[in-house]
Structure 1
Amino acid sequence: MKKKTIFGILAVLVVALIIFLVVQGNSGKSNAVTVRTGEVKKETIVETLSTTGTLIPNQTQALIGTGNVVDVLVKTGDKVTKENVLATYDNGLQLIAGFDGTITQVNIKNNQADTNAQQGKPSIQLDDLSTLNVQLALSNSEASSVAVDQKVEITSGNQTFSGKVSEKDPTAQSTQSATGNSASLGAVVTFDHAPEKLFSGFDVDVTITTDTVENVLALPIEALTYNDKNEPITYIVKDGLAKEKKIEIGIQSDKLIEVKKGLKEGETVILSPSSDIKNNAEVTKE
Structure 2
Amino acid sequence: MLRRLIWAIILLAVLAALAWAFWPRPIPVETAEAARRDIAITVEEEGKSRIREVFTVSAPISGQVQRSALHAGDEVLKDETVVAALRPAAPGLLDARLKRVAEAAAASARASVDLAAAEVRQAEAQLTFLNSELSRAERLSRQGTISERALDKAKLDVETAAAALESARASLTVRQRELERAEAALIETGTSEGPCCTEIKAPVTGRILRVLTESEQVVQAGTPLVEIGDPADIEIVADVLSRDAVEIRPGARAVIDNWGGPPLEARVRRVEPSAVTKISALGIEEQRVSVVLDLAGGAPEAAALGDGFRVVTRITVWEGRGLLAVPVASLFRQGGNWAAYAVVNGRAELRRLEIGPRNGAFASIEAGLSEGETVILHPSDQLTDGAAVTPTAAE
TM over 0.5: yes
**1:214 and 2:317 are equivalent in the alignment:** no
The Cα of 1:110 is off from its aligned counterpart by 5.5
Alignment map for 1:22-33 (pairs within 5 Å)? 22-23=17-18, 25=20, 29-33=23-27
CA contact (8 A) 2:238 2:291 kept: yes
The Cα of 1:170 is off from its aligned counterpart by 0.9
Match of 2:234 in 1: 132
Quote the Cα distance in structure 1 between the aligned partners of 2:42 and 2:256.
13
Listed one character per residue, the Cα deviations across residues 68-91 of structure 1 (whole Å, up to 9, x for unaligned) are 136667733332233456446669
The Cα of 1:235 is off from its aligned counterpart by 1.4
Q: How many residues align?
A: 275
**1:265 and 2:371 are equivalent in the alignment:** yes
The Cα of 1:265 is off from its aligned counterpart by 2.0
SS of 1:265's equivalent in the other structure is coil
Residue of structure 1 aligned with 2:294, choices 178, 185, 190: 190
| Larger CA deviation: 102-111 vs 255-264 | 102-111
Alignment map for 1:106-255 (pairs within 5 Å)? 106-108=211-213, 112-114=218-220, 122-155=224-257, 156-175=259-278, 179=283, 181-193=285-297, 195-229=302-336, 231-255=337-361
- Higher-Rg member (1/2): 2
Identity %: 21
CA contact (8 A) 2:340 2:353 kept: yes
Quote the Cα distance in structure 2 between the aligned partners of 1:21 and 1:208.
62
Listed one character per residue, the Cα deviations across residues 233-257 of structure 1 (whole Å, up to 9, x for unaligned) are 1112334442322222233345422
Match of 2:8 in 1: 13
The amino acid of 1:271's aligned partner reads L
The amino acid of 1:246's aligned partner reads R
Quote the Cα distance in structure 1 between the aligned partners of 2:293 and 2:217.
42
**1:79 and 2:75 are equivalent in the alignment:** yes
Compare the two structures and name the one with the higher strand fraction. Answer: 1
The Cα of 1:115 is off from its aligned counterpart by 6.6
**1:58 and 2:160 are equivalent in the alignment:** no
Deviating 4+ runs (over 6 angstroms): 91-94
CA contact (8 A) 2:29 2:376 kept: yes
| Larger CA deviation: 276-285 vs 72-81 | 72-81
Listed one character per residue, the Cα deviations across residues 25-55 of structure 1 (whole Å, up to 9, x for unaligned) are 568x554433332222222222333332212
CA contact (8 A) 1:55 1:135 kept: yes
The Cα of 1:275 is off from its aligned counterpart by 1.0
**Structure 2 gap segments, 5+ residues each:** 90-196
The Cα of 1:216 is off from its aligned counterpart by 1.4
SS of 2:62's equivalent in the other structure is strand
SS of 2:230's equivalent in the other structure is strand
CA contact (8 A) 2:61 2:222 kept: no
Compare the two structures and name the one with the higher helix fraction. Answer: 2
Listed one character per residue, the Cα deviations across residues 80-128 of structure 1 (whole Å, up to 9, x for unaligned) are 23345644666999866443222223334666232765xxxx3332222
The amino acid of 2:379's aligned partner reads P
Change (3 A) 1:23 1:76: closer
RMSD over aligned Cα atoms = 3.4
| Larger CA deviation: 11-20 vs 274-283 | 11-20
**Structure 1 gap segments, 5+ residues each:** 1-5
